[in-house]
Amino acid sequence: MIVCAVILGLTLPGERRGRDEGNAAERAGAASGATPPARAARAGGTVPPTGSASPRASAPTSAPPTPIAAAAAGAVAVKANELGQVPVLMYHRILNKPQMSLDRSTKELHDELTRLAKDGYCPITAAEFVGGRFNVPAGRHPVVLTFDDSTPGHFGLDAQGGPKPDTAVGVIEQVARENPGFRPVATFYLNKDLFGMDDAQAAAGLAWLRQHGYELGNHTVNHPSLSGMSEKGVRKEIGDMEDRIVKLAGAHTTTFAYPFGAVPKKKAWAEKEDGRYAFQGMFLAGWRPSVSPFDGDFDRWQIDRIRSEGKIKENDCTKYCSVAWLDYLDKNPDERYTSDGDPNTVTFPKSAEDRLAKEYRGRARTY
């Protein structure tokens, strides 16, 4: 599933690159794009003319942008930076004893979530992240936990109607009990085999997840690579899965994760089909933190994720998997998203103002 071609789409820790809208970066299992170019600087001045042509008459200039308001004292005290990077962690099977390279043990999951809690991270859902409205306490950092393929190790209900303790949800709930303030939420990207449950069990299970703040996402019926499929095939895989989720859960999904990170020939086929599905965000398969949803470089249709893994040699996890990236962000806190504690404002150092997406200027605060 994970191939070396993914490296073409990577950024070394600390580097920031923009996206070329005409080319999607290659991701795990996909070979459908080119390496994104370096992000162009967005300086406020004009570019000086070249050559010897005479200058033309000056055109009327638009009014300067409204000055950004000053940050609240509390936000300054915690060094808020809501234009920083956000880790979106990608998990696959959760087992007591891993069997394949993408598997994580329940202990490994517990240890990683405990680390996140101790390091001041607060989980939010993928839908909350995409929407740019999430309530993370001041000084803490959002993290998005995503689980692909709806395998039995992700979730199950015990005889008392609660989550089985040896599942991902059971571990998340345990870590939340052990670490007050660690919000027990995650996003589950679903395939047809819903946690190994029959339809009656699945309906009850999906209801429990939604009632407790977990997000349900679409991951296609059969988990194919969409990169070489026809429009009809793409829409059937996504639409049929959406129909199944709506039938069992009574609600549409908000976000979608590409199987293998593979984008179809035309992204619009996956993004929306009138009357069946209409996503607000699309997630890839690796291998770097996402830029902030308030950053001008944020592309809701191609959001990066990080594979959960230690610093192993495989697939260059020494640099690009979760442990390496969390280490990097700990050592470079100025590059990490730090909340100002107010979901209605976007606070950041004044030096980062050129990175702010213009639609958020009214909510912006600087120091």
User: Would you say residue 199 has pLDDT above 60?
Assistant: yes
Question: How many other CB atoms are there within 10 angstroms of residue 331's CB atom?
Answer: 11
pLDDT of residue 57: 45
Collapse the DSSP code of 303 into the 3-class scheme (helix H, G, I; strand E, B; otherwise coil) and give the result: strand
- In order of 41, 152, 160, the CA distances from 176 in angstroms are 41, 21, 20
Q: How confident is the model at residue 62 (pLDDT cuts 50, 70, 90)?
A: low
pLDDT of residue 11: 39
Domains of the chain, earliest start first: 84-366 (3.20.20.370)
- Going by C-alpha positions, the residue among 252, 300, 297, 293 that lies closest to residue 276 is 252
Radius of gyration of the chain (CA): 21
Pick the more confident residue, 41 or 154. 154
Global confidence as pTM: 0.84
Pick the more confident residue, 355 or 27. 355
Task: Please tell me what DSSP assigns to residue 316.
Answer: G
User: Would you say residue 53 has pLDDT above 80?
Assistant: no
Collapse the DSSP code of 142 into the 3-class scheme (helix H, G, I; strand E, B; otherwise coil) and give the result: strand
Collapse the DSSP code of 99 into the 3-class scheme (helix H, G, I; strand E, B; otherwise coil) and give the result: coil
User: Would you say residue 255 has pLDDT above 80?
Assistant: yes
pLDDT of residue 315: 86
Counted residue by residue, the chain has a size of 367
Question: What's the mean pLDDT in 326-350?
Answer: 98
For residue 296 the two structure tokens come to 């001008």
Identify the helix (H) or strand (E) that includes residue 257: strand 255-257
Please give the Cα distance from 32 to 79 (Å, whole number). 39
pLDDT of residue 66: 84
pLDDT of residue 61: 60
pLDDT, mean over the chain: 87
Question: What's the mean pLDDT in 253-276?
Answer: 97
Q: How confident is the model at residue 60 (pLDDT cuts 50, 70, 90)?
A: low
- In order of 66, 217, 245, 253, the CA distances from 277 in angstroms are 38, 11, 11, 8
High-pLDDT (> 70) share of the chain, %? 83
Contacts of 290 (CB under 8 A, 6+ apart): 85, 86, 87, 88, 129, 144, 298, 303, 304, 305
User: Would you say residue 54 has pLDDT above 70?
Assistant: no
- Going by C-alpha positions, the residue among 218, 217, 209, 117 that lies closest to residue 168 is 209
Q: How confident is the model at residue 7 (pLDDT cuts 50, 70, 90)?
A: very low
Phi, psi at 5, each rounded to 5°: -60, -20
Question: What's the mean pLDDT in 17-34?
Answer: 34
Q: How confident is the model at residue 65 (pLDDT cuts 50, 70, 90)?
A: confident
User: Would you say residue 1 has pLDDT above 60?
Assistant: no
Collapse the DSSP code of 81 into the 3-class scheme (helix H, G, I; strand E, B; otherwise coil) and give the result: strand
Hey, CA dihedral for 297, 303, 309, 314, is it positive or negative?
Answer: negative
Instruction: Encode pLDDT of 106-120 as tens digits.
Output: 999 999 999 999 999
pLDDT of residue 25: 34
User: Would you say residue 257 has pLDDT above 60?
Assistant: yes
